[in-house]
Amino acid sequence: MVEVDASRAPVRIPREIWVLVGASFLIAIGFGLVAPTLPVFVRTFDVGITAAGLVVSVFALARLVFAPSSGWLVTRVGELRVFNAGLLIVAVSTAAMAFAGEYWHLIALRAFGGIGSTMFTISAVSLLIRLAPPEIRGRASGMWATGFLLGNIVGPLAGGGLVAISLRAPFLVYAAVLVVVVLVSGVLLRGRLDVAPPVPGAPPVVAVGFREALGHRAYRAALVANFGVGWAVFGARVALVPLFVVEALGQPEAWSGVVLAVFAAGNAATLVVAGRFADRFGRRPPMLLGLAVAALATGMLGYVEQPWVVLAVSLVAGLGSGMVNPPLQASVGDVIGTGGRGGTVLAGFQMASDLGAILGPVLAGGLAELVGYGWAFAITGGVLAVAWLFWLRAPETLPARTPTTRPR
């Protein structure tokens, strides 16, 4: 009889992570409903492009300011409570936006929603890193991000249809989706998050604090890259692409949802592959390739005049961005180590993205008004190029794989 070495069995993704993947999918559907609608909705209050970008930026500003507190709450209260409380805050603020009567109402409500957003984001990433064994950390990050991006494909398309009914309808639907996520995750994750799964053959690792992590070149490179992602993907893309499609290309409002969905499809196509590649060969190769592709495609977007070419360039930019996410998040997990929540390290990581999402819409929006969309997107691509230079000098963080484990 041949004995099977159980330690060499393929490492499977824990089912709790699959719950997080499903939750991210539903959250992203709701976010995708609102993303193409928000800038156009803000413009109905008779404000300019920069003011429309400010509504996007204030959401990120609230996330930035409240991120340290969210990291503290995750450590003190626990991930699941912070996760659900954050989702409920976003649900309430988003539903209220549908009834906003003045521009400052939008600013206040988006700021309140940003507080909830940072709560559920930090808690979800903390769970992801804590529950995923190191040798599949990239793969787990890719699956989680894929759930979010697949939702972003469905959301903008559905949002385009809702816009035809009312510009306020997507906000109400998004709020309802978030309530569903709270109910489902509260049932499926309760009582399952106390202890991280053991990693065969791996020694215990003490999680590091923010100051210690900041001394690591890979973490510094991750901060710069996440700043670039916040600027390009969560800031300028959300604030400028819908306006560029409608105002510069003269396309209907629903078309902006199609462009955002194509970008999301490009992300989804490379996320899982990039995660597997990062687990097998290292975090740096997909990071460098993804940042280069995303920088070039983003930089040329504002100079495109044909709608079908905009779709093609958006797809390429999405492919590049998708290569970045799994190794980026996995590298931060490598720096933190297995066994701790690492709330302050994750808070700093998120704050870098939020800072980019704050500056991106305002500065790129100002450039669009002053010198045109071409320069706005070119500068955005340049921010990603700077992140590429940082990663060129960063060390590899993939933990040495023990002989008894292998990724599936």
Spatial neighbors of 267 by CB under 8 A, at least 6 apart, are 145, 149, 152, 318, 319, 321, 322, 325
Q: Model confidence over 160-177: pLDDT tens digits?
A: 667 667 777 788 888 998
Residue type, 12: R
pLDDT of residue 13 exceeding 90, the answer is no
Structural domains in the chain, sorted by start:
13-193+208-392 (1.20.1250.20)
Q: Could you please report the per-residue DSSP string of 38-102? A: HHHHHHTTS--HHHHHHHHHHHHHHHHHHHHHHHHHHHHH-HHHHHHHHHHHHHHHHHHHTT--S
pLDDT digits (tens, 9 = 90+) for 105-134: 888 898 999 899 889 888 888 888 877 777
Mean pLDDT across the chain, nearest whole number? 80
Please state the rounded mean pLDDT for residues 66-74.
Answer: 85
Asked if the model's pLDDT at residue 11 lies above 70, the reply is no
What pLDDT is attached to residue 164?
64
pLDDT 10s digits, 76-94? 787 888 888 999 999 999 9
Tokens standing for residue 347:
């808070």
Tell me, what's the pLDDT at 200? Answer: 47
Question: Taking residues 142-159, what's their average pLDDT?
Answer: 77
Choice among 35-39, 112-116, 338-342 with the minimum mean pLDDT: 338-342
User: What is the number of other CB atoms lying within 10 angstroms of the CB of residue 305?
Assistant: 8
Between 392 and 259, name the one with better pLDDT: 392
pLDDT classification of 338: cutoffs 50, 70, 90: low
Whose tokens are 């590298």? That residue is 331
Rounded Cα distance, 91 and 82, in Å = 14
Q: Write the DSSP symbol of residue 372.
A: -
Q: In this structure, are residues 25 and 312 in contact, taking their beta carbons and an 8 Å threshold?
A: no
Give the C-alpha separation, 205 to 342, whole Å: 12
Res. 183: pLDDT tops 60: yes
**% of the chain at pLDDT higher than 90:** 17
How far CA 109 is from CA of 42, 49, 311, in Å, comes to 13, 19, 32
- The residue ranking higher by pLDDT, 71 or 158, is 71
Per mean pLDDT, which range of 49-58, 242-251, 317-326, 398-407 is the poorest? 398-407
More confident residue, 295 or 360: 295
Gap between the Cα atoms of 199 and 212, Å rounded: 24
pLDDT confidence bin for 193, thresholds 50/70/90: low
Give the torsion sign (CA, 162, 167, 169, 171). Answer: positive
pLDDT tier at 209 (50, 70, 90 boundaries)? confident
Nearest-angstrom CA–CA distance, 387 and 344: 22
**CA 299 to CA 233: how far, in whole Å?**
13
At 8 the pLDDT is: 43
Residue 404's pLDDT is 38
- Which amino acid is located at 330 in the chain? A
Q: Specify burial of residue 69 (Cβ count, 10 A radius: 0-12, 13-18, 19+).
A: middle
Q: How many CB atoms lie within 10 A of CB 342?
A: 28
CB 201 within 8 A of CB 330: no
At residue 399 the predicted structure's pLDDT band, cuts being 50, 70 and 90, is confident
pLDDT bin (cut points 50, 70, 90) of residue 61 is: confident
Mean pLDDT across 241-260: 78
CB contact set of 241 (below 8 Å; sequence gap of 6+): 256, 259, 260, 263, 301, 314
Confidence of residue 389 (pLDDT cuts 50, 70, 90): very high
Q: What's the pLDDT score for residue 293?
A: 95
Placement of tokens 């603020």 in the chain: 93
* pLDDT on residue 400: 63
